[in-house]
């Protein structure tokens, strides 16, 4: 089960890498003591059914089960519920697959971005797989993505990367 205990929050840039310091929450590992991949970790968490359905509709399951490493800023089901009515249903339509892929890959960064170092008050930009950067800021004990989404749990480790749980879907320009 994923814990949401905030211990200390911080941010730093080091050779283009972002570090977000929050308490570590780890889901149950896959059988035989191995960590599950990002997709299986999200499924096991039970709070990402909309995200998982979107990843399936976009044809990104095999990619996110791939070697990685990836960092995923994963919106919860509640985050998707904040979108205007009909948005998710529209994005899941086959004719809107390109737009769905753009939204989902805007939540993914190549490489593993974990919590190691801290500099509150700094803003760091990281390039997403989608191509546009996102900004990460630590202010008043909260890590924000694009000044819209709060990181509610960081460093959920998977076999092929890391998940940071966010409370709002971020949308590319």
Residue-wise pLDDT for 17-29, tens only, equals 333 322 223 333 3
Which structure tokens are listed for 35?
């960590």
Decide if pLDDT at 134 tops 80.
yes
Q: Which whole number is the average pLDDT over 103-115? A: 91
pLDDT tens string 32-87: 347 899 999 999 999 999 999 999 999 999 999 999 999 999 999 999 999 999 99
For residue 69, tell me if it sits in a domain: yes
Name the helix (H) or strand (E) containing 83: none
CB 153 within 8 A of CB 72: no
Tokens of 166: 């966010």
Tell me whether residue 172 is in a domain.
no
> Which strands, in side-by-side order, build the sheet including 142-145?
108-110, 70-75, 161-166, 149-158, 142-145, 133-139, 123-127
Would residue 5 count as lying in a domain? no
Question: Which CATH number does the domain housing residue 82 bear?
Answer: 2.30.180.10
C-alpha torsion angle, residues 22, 48, 148, 123 (rounded to 10): 40
Number of domains in the chain: 1
Instruction: Give the domain extent around 156.
Output: 11-166
pLDDT band at 13 (very low <50, low <70, confident <90, very high): very low
For residue 2, tell me if it sits in a domain.
Answer: no
Average pLDDT, the chain: 80
């Amino acid at each position: 089960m994923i814990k949401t205990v905030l211990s200390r929050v911080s941010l730093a840039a080091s050779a283009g890498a972002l570090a977000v310091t929050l308490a570590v929450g780890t889901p149950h590992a896959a059988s035989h003591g191995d960590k599950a991949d990002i997709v299986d970790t999200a499924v096991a968490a039970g709070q990402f059914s909309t995200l998982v359905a979107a990843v399936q509709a976009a044809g990104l399951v095999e990619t996110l089960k791939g070697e990685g490493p990836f960092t995923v800023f994963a919106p919860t089901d509640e985050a998707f519920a904040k979108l205007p009515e009909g948005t998710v249903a529209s994005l899941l339509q086959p004719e809107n697959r390109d737009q769905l892929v753009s939204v989902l890959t805007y939540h993914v960064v190549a490489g593993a971005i974990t919590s190691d170092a801290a500099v509150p008050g700094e803003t760091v930009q990281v390039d997403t797989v989608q191509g546009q950067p996102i900004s990460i800021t630590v202010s008043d004990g909260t890590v924000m993505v694009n000044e819209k989404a709060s990181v509610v749990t960081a460093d959920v480790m998977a076999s092929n990367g890391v998940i940071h749980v966010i409370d709002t879907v971020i949308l590319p320009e």
